Amino acid sequence: MKVAYFTNQYPAVSHTFIRREIAGLEAKGVEIHRFSVRRSFTELVDPDDIAERERTAVILGNGTLSLLLTALGVAIGRPVRFGKALLAAIRMGLRSDRGLFRNLAYLVIACKLLRLLERSGCGHVHVHFGTNPASVAYLCRMLGGPPYSFTVHGPEEFDKPWTLSLTEKIEDAAFVVAISSFGRSQLYRLCSLEHWPKIKIVRCGVDQGFIDANPPPIADSARLVCVGRLCEQKGQLLLVQAAARLRDEGVALELILVGDGDMRPDVEALIRERQLEDVVKITGWAAGSEVRKYLSSSRALVLPSFAEGLPVVIMEALALGRPVLTTYIAGIPELVEPNRCGWLVPAGSVDALVDAMKEALTTPVSRLTELGEEGRRRVLASHDARTATEPLFEELKRCLESDVP
């Protein structure tokens, strides 16, 4: 089985779940060829990501002229298919918030991907994210490329499905993957009943370093850890506000923000404004081994997100036996259950966040351990990377054996 994996940026710091999925399929004997539109914008710190970079072909790595010449060759060699793909790119561009020119660029990239796929001999393309990578795969298929499937993570796809032409992509794809029941329900909304059977759930897997770990006992400390990109949807600004309230109430707290991102200057400014330099620390990007250390040293993970799919870091924390404090959104309640393995609060509520953090900081360690043990049991049952890829493997195998023209 030869399968191509195609993404916008790969490898990337926040996309390690793709790397684990590829590893899971390769362990089953699938030959994976990796393709990415561009290299990651952020510096890679994880040795596994750095190694993966060497295995990935980057489409925008050889200059614009090469791309245009490839597109011209496809247009001359396949004029009818190219004409249909051009019309499709124009239709997508007219409704897209990224504009017509960007979608015409996707067609040029699709021509290059087509040639790379022909040379690799891959009989199927799997794409992560229903955004521009899925647009390229959709156009590549129109040009005569192999069947494709794609994984929808959310929230971006669910925020603007019309501008992404998501319905057309679902209908055209061999199958579509959701990472949670919630995600599947949102995809159901976007297509007719006849396409519902092609929408499958494939849960993200956790790195074996977390699964095989022997979780250290929870220390009776005041450390809470938040792991994630510093951006609006992760809610770190509200977390800093909550930390200020707890400090003012005399509650001992050490808050570690593991990650980096566009909003780091805003988060740092709020920390200075609230005089929380001794309470809140930002580490920047961390490799998987460092993330494990931070989570293992914590009392609990706190992640006050506004918009998510189902964050892998929640699985990682639970795998390490750490309870999780997060929000009632998307697929999160499918894994985190209040009073069973953590706390759930309404997204955007600082008051609820303060109350839950206070409870996490004052709950006896023996009870925290019980919550963490239940969380670990749930992750081992549903998110072990060695078994989580099985539904995807079966779908890929079915598609390749069906010999779709």
Q: pLDDT of the chain along its 405 residues, tens only? A: 999 999 999 998 778 899 999 999 999 999 999 999 998 777 787 888 889 999 999 999 778 899 999 999 999 999 999 999 999 999 999 999 999 999 999 999 999 999 999 999 999 999 999 999 999 999 999 999 999 999 999 999 999 999 999 999 999 999 999 999 999 999 999 999 999 999 999 999 898 889 998 999 999 999 999 999 999 999 999 999 999 999 999 999 999 999 999 999 999 999 999 999 999 999 998 888 899 999 999 999 999 999 999 999 999 999 999 999 999 999 999 999 999 999 999 999 999 999 999 999 999 999 999 999 999 999 999 999 889 999 999 999 999 998 555
Task: For residues 201 and 395, give the distance between their C-alpha atoms in angstroms, rounded to a whole number.
Answer: 11
- Helix H or strand E segment including 27: helix 16-27
Q: Give the pLDDT score at 117.
A: 97
Angle 32-33-36 from CA coordinates, rounded to 5°: 130
- How far is residue 205 CA from its own chain's centroid? 11
Per-residue DSSP letter, 278: T
Task: For residues 317 and 134, give the distance between their C-alpha atoms in angstroms, rounded to a whole number.
Answer: 31
Exposure b/e, 52-78, CB count within 10 A at least 16 = b: bbeebbebeeeeeeebeebbeebbeeb
Task: For residues 256 and 295, give the distance between their C-alpha atoms in angstroms, rounded to a whole number.
Answer: 10
Task: For residues 241 and 349, give the distance between their C-alpha atoms in angstroms, rounded to a whole number.
Answer: 11
The number of residues making up the chain comes to 405
Task: For residues 246 and 47, give the distance between their C-alpha atoms in angstroms, rounded to a whole number.
Answer: 38
Cis, bond preceding 197 (omega within 30 deg of 0): no
Mention every residue, 6+ apart, whose C-beta is less than 8 A from residue 365: 217, 218, 219, 220
Mention every residue, 6+ apart, whose C-beta is less than 8 A from residue 394: none
Domains of the chain as residue ranges with CATH = 2-202+389-402 (3.40.50.2000), 209-382 (3.40.50.2000)
Q: Give the pLDDT score at 405.
A: 52
Q: Please list the residues that pair with 162 across neighbouring strands.
A: none
Q: Give the pLDDT score at 136.
A: 98
Q: What are phi and psi for residue 125, nearest 5 degrees? A: -120, 130
Closest CA to 169 of 193, 201, 199, 135: 135
Give the three-state DSSP class for 311.
Answer: coil
Task: For residues 216 and 296, give the distance between their C-alpha atoms in angstroms, rounded to a whole number.
Answer: 7
Task: For residues 304 and 54, give the distance between their C-alpha atoms in angstroms, rounded to a whole number.
Answer: 35
pTM of the model: 0.91
Q: Give the pLDDT score at 403.
A: 59
Task: For residues 320 and 195, give the distance between their C-alpha atoms in angstroms, rounded to a whole number.
Answer: 38
Give the three-state DSSP class for 61.
Answer: helix
